[in-house]
Amino acid sequence: MTSGPAGTALDTEAPAAYLERYGLMLLIRLFETEMQQLFLKGEVHGTTHLCAGQEAVPVGVCSALEPGDYLAGTYRGHGHALAKGTDPDALIAEMLGRATGVCAGRAGSMNVIDVEHGLVGCFGIVGGSIAAATGAALAAKRQGRVAVAMFGDGATNQGYFHECLNFAKVLSLPVVFVCENNFYGEFTPMLAVTAGGDITARAAGYGLPARTVDGNDLWAVREAALEAVGKAHSGAGPTLLECQTYRHHGHSKSDPARYRPPEEVERWLARDPLTIARARLVELGVAESDIDEVREATRARMDRAVQAALAAPYPDPDGGRATEFAP
Amino acid sequence: MTLEFRAAIREAIVEEMERDESVVLFGEDVAAEQGGVFAVTPGIQERFGSARVFDTPISELALSGAAFGAAVAGLRPIIEIMFGDFMGLAMDSLVNQSAKYWYLSNEQRSVPLVVRSAVGGGGRFGAIHSQTHATWFQGIPGLKIAFPSSPAEAKGLLKGAIRDDNPVIFLEHKRLYSVKGEAPAAGDEVLPLGKALVARSGADVTIVSAGKGVADALEAADELAADGVRAEVVDLRTLRPLDLDTVLESVARTNRVLAVEEGPRTGGWASGLLGLVAEHGLHDLDDAWLLATDELPIPYSPTLEDAFIPGPGAIAAAVRERAGIAVS
């Protein structure tokens, strides 16, 4: 991976690498589509928070990371896990509560953990990911790694956000704070509950470099992430990235999102990150047929994952393996 | 050889940091020259450097969250949340992240961290610097809670806590910090978490407590011996895991049990313990009762606070009264 100044990596990288990232974004989109359908069929239980529309953020950010780097995600975290490398078979099985799930069905949609792929966890409490990544950065500093926190606009009003930005800056930790600003905290517009109305500006008070990024543009996210990761590696400490994006669905399965003005939804749907990425790939000279091939392969991959998960056994409540404590 | 309680804590930290590079210590003022407001950690930063021992902002939420993340990523953090009362601010990360990780992750990784705090009344610190937060956490599967009663035990339990692969809430009663006691026979003794101790044997009544309550119960037992009452004292050492077997074995010998807790009787660990004793040992029981505090915040004024907290005299009186022995 190129870790030179922003821009360098983009210019020298083959379009094939972006085609692969496009495939990963598509995998996340298809995953979320399946989630919605499986939920309606009663196969996904409780609740689930879909990230369709926000795919460019985790894919762009994770493209700037090494496999050993740490990522802490949120309860809207299917994209975070897939982008960090979690096996789609294991992730979908987890959603279905099956024994073959990445956490053997113990965690569910909001709490996925995949240590092998550097996914510290997905956290069901708003802002929890910020502290998890800040802590992982304490270890990462020794290990020559970086840690990334993903969180939404709502988390920027939590104590976690303010305490950890200060904490990470004071200790100069190699962490990147990535806000996925989708402009709604649950059902409430971000601007109605965010004093100052400017998330990026909040970093200045803590002396953190910060950027507002087009979160629907894979290239823009990757470039910003490369710069922030480079800073973290160089010892310059934390950076805040505010990636502006939009969720295509409501907050959770019980939310039809009627509070969003139709023209606003139209505007954002026209800026679908997958549409933007596809157009850009074509512009870069990638053949339409190659893109379609990726689409078909990804579709087939997801179908296999769903079939495998549906056929997998549920965990046995009498299995008796669970222990309260590590030995 | 004698050992002061605060020195015992310090020795445990130093020895474990010498032994294991991944052990780190951070919190408010832990690296300061004085070693925090209770002077427990002076000189540790000088010895191990600022990469392993450092002061943090007064940010309990960030502190406990950072300890969690660091533990998951390979360190073994010891953090200090100065007063146990401040644990309300640290609670989300401990309860929702650290405690559940081992299970939720399907045992992919455990969270080896220790949260040390000063607890307990008697210091005239008032309602919000005198609480014992053990019961706030006792109902959370995945957390261990250690509460030492003597310098030797503090050292052994803290070493055990640091080596334990699970999150441990470690309580240090502030009225014990200046207590001196016998140093452990083997200086580097490590006490496992989850094993209670019969601190004194006796055939007539079992007094169960933890932390400073054990020291008080031992004093009360001396007093009771003068009245011909042979009290057995069980030191729980950890409130989670709870070593119910040791308590039940003692109750089988004495048939009477008094649980002493510096905290309100409703919802406390002592009332929970008596419930378990009733469930599993009813056939052995002739009597079971509690000595705990009123259902009020801990008061400030010396006359109010002294009357509020059960000490050795109150424990001895509670046994005499129940046994129908007139005060001599």
Ordered DSSP codes for B47-97 = HH-TTTEEE--S-HHHHHHHHHHHHHTT-EEEEEEEEGGGHHHHHHIIIII
Nearest-by-Cβ selection for B97 from A107, A116, A128? A128
Q: Which amino acid is at A270?
A: A
What total number of domains does chain A contain? Answer: 1
- Which residue ranges make up each domain of chain B? 2-182, 197-323
Looking at the domain covering B2-182, what would its CATH class be?
Answer: alpha beta
Residue contact B70–A135, C-beta within 8 A: yes
Which letter does DSSP use for residue A198 in this model?
Answer: -
Beta carbon pairs, A and B, within 8 Å: 149
Cβ neighbours of B93 in A, within 8 Å: 128, 131
Topology match between the domains B2-182 and B197-323: yes
Instruction: Classify domain B197-323 at the CATH class level.
Output: alpha beta
Q: Containing domain of residue A231, as a range?
A: 8-266+276-309
CATH code for the domain in which residue A111 is found: 3.40.50.970
Q: Test A128 with B142 for CB contact under 8 angstroms.
A: no
Which residues 115-174 of A are in CB contact (within 8 Å) with B? 115-116, 120-121, 123-125, 128, 130-140, 142-143, 147, 159-160, 163-164, 166-167, 170-171
pTM listed for this prediction: 0.95
A171 vs B101: CB contact, 8 Å cut-off? no
Does the beta-carbon distance from A325 to B69 stay under 8 Å?
no
* Residue B293: closest CA among B276, B272, B310, B273: B310
Within a domain: A127: yes
Using DSSP, state whether B285 is helix, strand or coil.
coil
Asked whether residue A10 carries a pLDDT value surpassing 60, the answer given is no
Domain assignment of residue A326, yes or no: no
Asked if A107 reaches chain B (Cβ–Cβ under 8 Å), the answer is: yes
Q: Which amino acid makes up residue A226?
A: L
Catalytic residues of B: 129
Q: In Å, how far is A142's CA from the nearest CA of chain B?
A: 9
- CA of B74 vs chain A CAs: smallest distance (Å): 6
- For A49-61, what is each residue's pLDDT tens digit? 999 999 999 999 9
Single-letter amino acid, residue B130: S
Q: A109-153: per-residue pLDDT in tens?
A: 999 999 999 999 999 999 999 999 999 999 999 999 999 999 999
Question: How far is the alpha carbon of B62 from chain A, nearest alpha carbon, in Å?
Answer: 5
Going from the first residue of chain B to its last (328 residues), give the mean pLDDT of each consecutive group of 10, the final group possibly shorter: 96 98 96 89 95 96 97 98 96 97 97 98 95 96 98 98 98 97 90 98 97 98 96 98 98 98 96 98 97 97 96 97 76
- Give the mean model confidence (pLDDT) for residues A225-237: 97
Tell which phi-psi region holds residue B215, choosing left (phi > 0), alpha (psi between -120 and 50) or beta: alpha
Verify whether the Cβ–Cβ distance A136 to B59 is below 8 Å. Answer: no
Q: Which residue intervals of A105-245 are DSSP H helices? A: 128-143, 159-170, 190-193, 199-202, 218-234
Whether residues B107 and A133 touch (CB distance < 8 A) is answered with: no
Q: Do A167 and B59 touch (CB under 8 A)?
A: yes
When scoring B24, B50, B59 by the number of chain A Cβ atoms within 10 A, the one with the most, hence best to mutate, is: B59
pLDDT value of residue A5: 43
Taken as a whole, chain A contains a residue count of: 327
- How far does the CA of residue B208 sit from the closest CA of chain A (Å)? 25
CA-based nearest distance B55→chain A, Å: 9
- Tell me whether residues B73 and A323 touch, CB distance under 8 A: no
Provide the pLDDT for residue B327. Answer: 61
Cα-trace Rg, chain B: 19
Distance separating alpha carbons of residues A18 and A146, to the nearest angstrom: 23
Q: Is residue A47 part of a domain?
A: yes
pLDDT score, position A2:
38
Residue B274's CB is within 10 A of a number of other CB atoms, namely 21
Confidence at residue A256, expressed as pLDDT on a 0 to 100 scale: 84
